[in-house]
């Protein structure tokens, strides 16, 4: 999920941004009806152009499974819009907050307000979902939104720019930076909030650029998401579910299982079952339309390098064929590969894989996976399989991650009532549903003083009564 951050003067970007800022500062916050109208237009845009968007994404990948685009992108975004429209009246309402006894009968309220202009630097791996999901929350919160798509999805990016320009005013919601490498200039603009989805390395650059303007950021950064197969797990069930989660989008998923801990006596058995499930799901023909291509030759070559390094250091690959097989390489279809006997010194265990390679690590004691996970950067996702509640609860209590799915993978991300976000090197901030609305709002505390409150008794000059008032305040505090 990398982006090229090039320094280029881009006057069009500056003009688009400042026009949005001027509009956001001069117009009143959009009412509920206006926000719902924005979301309806976005929903209609998606519904009317679903096939065009799917074809553009597939063309950018070389081949993208249409079913994966529908399930993981189109339906996800449509579901988020539906949920947001249903809940928006409640989210927008001023919230009653308890008032401390000493201030009665005054009132507290928490008032959500738009921040202003939200910038989104989007990735290539799920270009529709990871562009529009944060945009939905930003629009619902009453903001104006400027998007910088990925250079690796030029057809999709150009189409999205065309469709949004037809459905929205340029000062309301627009797309910029298709071919001109403006990511660094984009991140340096003084947005009211900036969202970036991509690699940890580039996330640090984006955060540094935003920090110069004190721009708050939401960073979705991925990393190495571990999976623990407990001794109590159903091995067949775990192998099937992990195989599906790993190979969705050919492993190019920020919350894909990145490596798997398996009890040592069953490591080879699990690896074999995992590989058989991979073959059952995607067959042996690289032209299988269910299997997605790797996004570019450069990314394919990087995966080849990870596998070569692992094999050179003693790992055993389980794969249908070599990634150098011309039939697979021509289509940029990387053969699904289980890497048995992975060790920490291998490159495959030191960087996010982002492809259909899955290392297997054996362990003997239940604490071993916990110690390994805690010795490394905190992951965006963690997966645990088993039926032993004590072991499960120990993993949940003793590890910190962006999110967790128990006895499956990926599914915590699809929960609209749960936040999505990383921690530490895997990200900052949250979005989805009300969490996104809150992230893109200023939740402004407002205190309404009552005319009957006796605060003036605290004004100087302080007389003999101040001691009694202090005593009362200590009692109430």
Q: pLDDT for 269-299, tens place per residue?
A: 999 999 999 999 999 999 999 999 999 999 9
- The mean of the pLDDT values for the chain is 93
CATH number for the domain running over 225-417: 3.40.309.10
pLDDT band for position 451 (cuts 50, 70, 90): confident
Which part of the chain is CATH 3.40.309.10? Answer: 225-417
How does residue 7 score in pLDDT terms, banded at 50, 70 and 90?
Answer: very low
Residue entry with tokens 């989660």: 245
Output the pTM of the full model.
Answer: 0.93
H or E segment to which residue 55 belongs:
helix 50-61
Is the pLDDT at 443 greater than 50? The verdict is yes
* For residues 383-412, average pLDDT: 97
Check whether 3 has a pLDDT greater than 60. Answer: no
- pLDDT at 423 exceeding the cut of 80: yes
Beta strands 217-220 and 144-148: pairing type? unpaired
Burial-class residue 411 by CB neighbours within 10 Å (0-12, 13-18, 19+).
Answer: middle
Spatial distance between the Cα atoms of 436 and 49, rounded to a whole number of angstroms: 25
pLDDT of amino acid 8:
38
User: Is residue 76 within 8 Å of 414, Cβ to Cβ?
Assistant: yes
Question: Looking up tokens 């619902």, which residue turns up?
Answer: 140
pLDDT of residue 179: 61
Residue 4 reports pLDDT greater than 60: no
For residues 410 and 181, which has the higher predicted lDDT (pLDDT)? Answer: 410
- Per-residue pLDDT of 135-152, as tens digits, reads 999 999 999 999 999 999
State how far the Cα of 213 lies from the Cα of 64, in Å rounded to an integer: 38
Backbone angles phi, psi at 391, to 5 degrees: -65, -45
- pLDDT value, residue 5: 38
CATH of 11-221+426-443, one of 3.40.605.10, 3.30.465.10, 3.10.129.10, 3.30.420.40: 3.40.605.10
Q: Tell me the average pLDDT across 441-470.
A: 82
The arithmetic mean of pLDDT across residues 308-325, rounded, is 96
* Higher-pLDDT residue of 180, 397: 397
Encode pLDDT of 121-134 as tens digits: 999 999 999 999 99
Beta bridge partners of 272: none
DSSP line for 384-400: EE-S-HHHHHHHHHH--
DSSP symbol at 411:
G
Q: What is the mean pLDDT of residues 323-340?
A: 97
Residue 68: band (very low, low, confident or very high) from pLDDT cuts 50, 70, 90:
very high
Catalytic sites, residue numbers? 220, 254
Summarised one tens digit per residue, pLDDT across range 25-58 is 999 999 999 999 999 999 999 999 999 999 999 9
Residue 395 has pLDDT above 90, yes or no: yes
Task: Place 183 in a pLDDT band, splitting at 50, 70 and 90.
Answer: confident
For the chain, give every residue range classified as CATH 3.40.605.10. 11-221+426-443
Q: What is the pLDDT of residues 226-263, one digit of tens each?
A: 999 999 999 999 999 999 999 999 999 999 999 999 99
Local confidence band at 461 (pLDDT 50, 70, 90 cut-offs): confident
DSSP 280-303: HHH-S-TT-TTSPPPS-HHHHHHH
Residues 93-112 have pLDDT tens digits of 999 999 988 788 889 999 99
């Amino acid at each position: 999920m990398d982006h090229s951050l090039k320094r280029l003067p881009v006057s069009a970007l500056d003009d688009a941004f400042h026009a949005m800022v001027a509009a956001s500062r001069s117009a009143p916050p959009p009412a509920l009806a206006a926000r719902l109208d924005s979301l309806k237009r976005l929903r209609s845009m998606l519904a009317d152009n679903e096939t065009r968007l799917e074809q553009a994404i597939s063309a950018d990948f070389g081949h993208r499974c249409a079913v994966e685009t529908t399930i993981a992108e189109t339906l996800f975004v449509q579901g988020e819009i539906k949920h947001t429209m249903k809940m928006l009246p409640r989210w927008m309402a001023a919230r009653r907050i308890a008032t401390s006894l000493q201030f009665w009968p005054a009132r507290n309220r928490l008032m959500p307000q738009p921040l202003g202009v939200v910038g989104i630097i989007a990735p290539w791996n799920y270009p529709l979902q990871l562009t529009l999901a944060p945009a939905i929350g930003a629009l619902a919160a009453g903001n104006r939104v400027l998007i910088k798509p990925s250079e690796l999805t030029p057809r999709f990016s150009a189409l999205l720019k065309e469709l949004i320009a037809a459905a929205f005013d340029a000062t309301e919601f627009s797309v910029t930076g298709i071919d001109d490498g403006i990511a660094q200039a984009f991140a340096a603009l003084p947005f009211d909030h900036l969202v970036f989805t991509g690699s940890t390395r580039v996330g640090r650059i984006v955060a540094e650029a935003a920090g110069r303007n004190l721009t708050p950021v939401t960073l979705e950064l991925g990393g190495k998401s571990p999976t623990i197969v407990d001794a109590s797990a159903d091995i067949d069930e775990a192998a099937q579910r992990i195989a599906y989660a790993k190979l969705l989008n050919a492993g190019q998923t920020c919350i894909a299982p990145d490596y798997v801990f398996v009890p040592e006596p069953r490591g080879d058995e699990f690896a074999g079952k995992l590989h058989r499930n991979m073959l059952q799901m995607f067959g042996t023909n690289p032209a299988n339309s269910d299997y997605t291509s790797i996004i570019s030759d450069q990314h394919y070559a990087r995966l080849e390098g990870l596998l070569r390094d692992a094999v050179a250091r003693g790992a055993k690959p389980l794969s249908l064929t070599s990634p150098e097989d011309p039939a697979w390489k021509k289509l940029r279809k990387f053969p699904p590969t289980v890497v048995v006997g992975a060790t920490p010194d291998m490159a495959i265990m030191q960087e996010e894989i982002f492809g259909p390679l899955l290392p297997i690590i054996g362990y003997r004691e239940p604490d071993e996976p916990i110690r390994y996970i805690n010795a490394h950067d905190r992951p965006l996702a963690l997966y645990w399989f088993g039926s032993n509640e004590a072991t499960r609860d120990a993993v949940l209590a003793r590890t910190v991650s962006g999110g967790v799915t128990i006895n499956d993978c990926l599914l915590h991300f699809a929960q609209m009532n749960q936040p999505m976000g990383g921690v530490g090197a895997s990200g900052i901030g949250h979005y989805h549903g009300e969490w996104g609305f809150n992230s893109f709002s200023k939740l402004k505390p407002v205190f309404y003083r009552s005319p009957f409150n006796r605060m003036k008794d605290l004004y100087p000059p302080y007389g003999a009564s101040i001691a009694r008032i202090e005593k009362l305040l200590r009692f109430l505090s």
